[in-house]
């Protein structure tokens, strides 16, 4: 049973490590809440021209492709945001799968700190980031953080068996986990512009793909979070959400 919690446009971002459960979580949101889902444009990264799979190239030779991949991911993500803002201009709650901020503060930053992106490339990336974010993106109203242990993420990644991810080691997920924690939980080394954006951390270590009770708990928590954001922004009056799945 879908519950209508829309009244005016809001942008909420679902963030999390590789294998955190984003695809399953977004499917559950779409089935149970009246929300517009903006998915990662992964098909753009996997199909460039006739034979270009940039995601695969990045994982196979990270040092060679880090700057190219992270820049293209960032640009395509901004494009997706702009297109969907036009599409849903009037009203609605939009849920965005990852954001330019996780690109900047987790993935690209990790490339620089691990030595696969040079200092010059990192500076160019940050300059592009500042210009595009300030001019072409909407500040999120909230973040939903799927907080998942790296080993759990790794096991899920292995289970889903995507060809591009076969070369991804556990320690890479551990580095990304620390970056997500620093950004979304500790809020260190991030721009002031998004420090005040509310974050809803969700424990996604327990399997929730087929656990109906766990799904219901997650949906109710998200619905309450969205209602609180709308109340704080004077979008809707206070009310109670009852979600049935």
Q: Where are the domains of the chain?
A: 10-232
Catalytic residue among 97, 113, 174, 207: 97
The pLDDT of residue 240 is above 50: no
- Cα gap 166→169, rounded to integer Å: 8
The pLDDT of residue 238 is above 90: no
Task: List the CATH code of the domain at 10-232.
Answer: 3.40.50.300
- Cα gap 9→193, rounded to integer Å: 20
- Burial of residue 213 (number of CB atoms within 10 Å: 0-12, 13-18, 19+): exposed
The pLDDT of residue 4 is above 70: no
Q: Which tokens sit at 112?
A: 């620089």
> What pLDDT sits at residue 172?
97
HEC string of 135-194 equals: HHCCCCCEEEEEECCHHHHHHHHHHHCCHHHHHCCHHHHHHHHHHHHHHHHCCCCCCHHH
Task: Tell which wins on pLDDT, 235 or 23.
Answer: 23
Give the pLDDT confidence of 157-178 residue by residue, as tens digits.
999 999 889 889 999 999 999 9
Of the chain, the percentage scoring pLDDT greater than 90 comes to 71
Structure confidence at residue 1 as a pLDDT band (50, 70, 90): very low
Tracing tokens 């030779």 back to the chain, one arrives at 61
Give the pLDDT confidence of 51-93 residue by residue, as tens digits.
799 999 999 999 999 999 999 999 999 998 888 777 765 567 8
> What pLDDT sits at residue 190?
84
Report, in angstroms and rounded to the nearest whole number, the Rg of the chain calculated over CA atoms: 18
Question: Is 97 a residue of the active site?
Answer: yes
What value does the mean pLDDT take over residues 99-105? 95
- Cα gap 243→52, rounded to integer Å: 43
Structure confidence at residue 189 as a pLDDT band (50, 70, 90): confident
Give the pLDDT confidence of 18-48 residue by residue, as tens digits.
999 999 999 999 999 988 899 999 999 999 9
Structure confidence at residue 239 as a pLDDT band (50, 70, 90): very low
The pLDDT of residue 237 is above 80: no
């Amino acid at each position: 049973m879908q519950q209508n919690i829309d009244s005016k446009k809001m942008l909420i971002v679902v963030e999390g490590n590789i294998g955190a459960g984003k695809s399953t979580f977004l499917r559950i949101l779409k089935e149970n809440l009246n929300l517009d889902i903006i998915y990662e444009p992964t098909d753009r990264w996997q199909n460039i021209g006739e034979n270009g799979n940039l995601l695969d190239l990045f994982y196979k030779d990270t040092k060679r492709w880090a700057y190219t991949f992270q820049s293209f991911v960032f640009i395509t993500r901004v494009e997706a945001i702009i297109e969907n803002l036009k599409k849903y201009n009037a009203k609605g709650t939009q849920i965005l799968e990852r954001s330019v901020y996780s690109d900047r503060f987790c993935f690209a930053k990790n490339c620089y700190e691990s030595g696969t992106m040079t200092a010059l490339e990192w500076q160019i990336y940050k300059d592009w980031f500042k210009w595009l974010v300030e001019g072409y993106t909407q500040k999120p109203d909230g973040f939903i953080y799927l907080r998942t242990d790296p080993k759990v993420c790794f096991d899920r990644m292995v289970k889903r068996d995507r060809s591009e991810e076969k070369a991804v080691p556990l320690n890479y997920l551990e580095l990304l986990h620390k970056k997500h924690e620093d950004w979304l939980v500790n809020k260190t080394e991030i721009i002031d512009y998004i420090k005040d954006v509310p974050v809803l951390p969700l424990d996604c270590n327990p399997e929730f793909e087929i656990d109906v009770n766990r799904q219901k708990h997650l949906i109710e928590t998200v619905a309450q979070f969205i209602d609180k954001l709308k109340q704080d922004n004077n979008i809707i009056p206070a009310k109670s959400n009852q979600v049935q799945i």
